[in-house]
Amino acid sequence: MVNPLASLRSLYVIALLVCVCLLSSSTRAQQQPASDALLPETARGVELYRQGKFAEAVEALKKASESGGAEAWHFLGLAYKQQGKRKEARGAFEQAILVRMGKLSPHVPAETLKAYGELNQEERARRLARLAASYKEAAETVAEFVSLNPEEADFWQAQLSSLHYYATHLASPTSTTPLYAPADVTTPAQILRREYPLYTERARHKQRRGTVALRVTLGSDGTVQHILVLKWLPDGLTGKAVDAARATKFTPAVKDGRPVSVWATLEYNFNIY
């Protein structure tokens, strides 16, 4: 059977993980170059691509991609696409997506939560702007991937739509339909009912195990919206997790006396016993 959402006592607890993600991303940014485009081999490959030397760009970017950088994989996909090598391009874009989506996943220690809560509004805005930029980068790669007519095109179109939503709303928190960070509300969202996904027969037969992580909006109307898959599993398990997340019921977060939308992370653990 499926292991229920780990330690899910309220959507507030889950949502707070997302806030912490901002600090983790900032710490990693201080330890690494802002972009792997700064690495010599990647920079050379990108320049060759921009000069229209696609075969040479592919060779340079294949070497650069060994470091696992998203920029190298993304431009390798573009170079393959210009050569008409659609299968190779899809593979490169898939790798870029994995890296760029990984930047949006919450893998952070709990002690950084307090630090985020102590940031002033200006610093929080800067953090949100950087996170919005990460969503935009991921959207650029997914858009290129979608242009190659991949399998499950509807799924990827939905992913692209959600990426655009988060990139826009995180960068413009003062919009007419604002999206708040969990730490910026007066009262957190509280769970009323949660659904647990079941294994598909195919996944059970293959004894699939792992976690599906979703970025969602806990809407001011009490519905789960803009579901973005940050970490997925094959054999239908991702779809089961999305269906379960969509069926979750909760009391919306409140800010200044009115219900508001906040962003959160939901994780579904699949184990066979």
Token pair 């184990």 is found at 271
Distance, CA of 69 to chain centre: 16
pTM across the whole model: 0.78
> Confidence class of residue 22 from pLDDT cuts 50, 70 and 90?
very low
What type of residue is 166? Y
What DSSP assignment string belongs to 183-242?
Answer: GGSSB--EEEE---PPPPHHHHHHT--EEEEEEEEE-TTS-EEEEEEEE--TTTHHHHHH
If one counts every other C-beta atom within 10 angstroms of the C-beta of residue 161, the result is 13
∠ CA 211-219-176, rounded to 5°: 130
Give residue for tokens 């610093």.
Answer: 123
- Over residues 202-256, the pLDDT tens digits come to 999 999 999 999 999 999 999 999 999 999 899 999 999 999 999 999 999 999 9
Calculate the alpha carbon distances from 242 to 138, 141, 197, 212, 267 in Å.
Answer: 20, 22, 9, 9, 10
- The overall average pLDDT reported for the chain is 82
DSSP 3: B
